């Protein structure tokens, strides 16, 4: 999507606020002993209370309102019978449509206790990769500045970038052009940001392998057993200056 009017900005910010607040809410109510399906049901109810519709359900008939991925599950985790345990590294990805606009956000956290040293470093690195990459986005610059930044932060922190997951266009639909913005620098990629372009910025950093595989449910993307991955995501509007972040939650 390309933003054409102030109405578009307001609509994207409204959708972004709902998913951001939903993410904060789900992180707050998650607790050891809860099945991921129970947590997802709470997220679904939150979206419905705010007039929003789950984008994965609407777009792909995904078997859950949100994606909940745990430990070796990297992304697109299907909510189900898996029971959350203290010390799990959990990622929640929330995307929803509100009044014709889509917000897409995500975050990782350790459940029920302080993260161990490895989990802490991984989460800090993934969040820093997201935030530093956002600062590089400007109309006219090449899209690969995102991958360059994410790759640098991952390397400095001692982690790998997952190469078959990346950022993407968003706005009116969950996935739009550009369909894939890698989290690594591709010197052959000369696409450029244009003013008003709406994209996600969502690096995936891991202690495991750099390529993930599809699980038996046809949705969940997995890394090797015993590994951890972390993802943090914002939806942004590209400008000639600092991007507009649409997925900011209400102040506590």
Q: Dump pLDDT digits (tens) for 209-239.
A: 999 999 999 999 999 999 999 999 999 999 9
Does 251 have pLDDT greater than 90? no
Task: Give tens-digit pLDDT for 101-139.
Answer: 999 999 999 999 999 999 999 999 999 999 999 999 999
Phi then psi dihedrals of residue 188, to 5 deg: -85, -10
pLDDT at 102: 98
pLDDT recorded at residue 126: 98
CATH class belonging to 6-245: alpha beta
Phi, psi of 10 (to 5 degrees): -60, -40
Segment 164-193 shows an average pLDDT of 97
pLDDT digits (tens, 9 = 90+) for 43-96: 999 999 999 999 999 999 999 999 999 999 999 999 999 999 999 999 999 999
Mean pLDDT over the full length of the chain:
97
pLDDT at 252 over 70: no
Q: What is the pLDDT of residue 104?
A: 98
The pLDDT assigned to 82 comes to: 97
The percentage of residues in the chain with a pLDDT greater than 70, rounded to a whole number, is 100
Asked if residues 20 and 105 have their Cβ atoms less than 8 Å apart, the reply is yes
pTM: 0.96
Name the band, by pLDDT with cuts 50, 70 and 90, for residue 156: very high
Residue ranges of the domains in the chain?
Answer: 6-245
pLDDT of residue 131: 98
């Amino acid at each position: 999507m390309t933003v054409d009017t102030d109405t578009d900005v307001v609509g994207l910010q409204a959708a972004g606020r709902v998913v951001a607040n939903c993410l904060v809410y789900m992180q707050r109510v998650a607790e050891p002993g809860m099945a991921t399906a129970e947590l997802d049901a709470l997220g679904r109810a939150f979206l419905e209370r705010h007039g929003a519709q789950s984008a994965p359900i609407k777009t792909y008939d995904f078997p859950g309102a949100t994606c909940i991925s745990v430990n070796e599950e990297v992304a697109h985790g299907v909510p189900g019978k898996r029971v959350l345990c203290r010390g799990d590294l959990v990622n929640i990805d929330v995307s929803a449509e509100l009044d014709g606009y889509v917000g897409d956000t995500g975050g990782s956290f350790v459940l029920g206790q302080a993260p161990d040293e490895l989990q802490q470093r991984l989460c800090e690195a993934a969040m820093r990769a997201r935030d530093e990459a956002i600062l590089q986005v400007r109309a006219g610059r090449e899209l690969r500045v995102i991958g360059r930044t994410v790759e640098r932060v991952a390397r400095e922190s001692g982690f790998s970038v997952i190469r078959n997951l990346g950022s993407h266009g968003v706005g009116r639909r969950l996935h739009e052009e550009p369909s894939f913005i890698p989290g690594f620098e591709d010197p052959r990629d000369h696409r450029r940001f244009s003013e008003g372009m709406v994209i996600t910025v969502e690096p995936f950093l891991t202690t495991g392998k750099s390529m993930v595989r599809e699980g038996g449910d046809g949705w969940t993307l997995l890394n090797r057993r015993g590994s951890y991955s972390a993802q943090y995501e914002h939806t942004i509007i590209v400008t000639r200056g600092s991007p507009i972040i649409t997925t900011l939650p209400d102040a506590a």
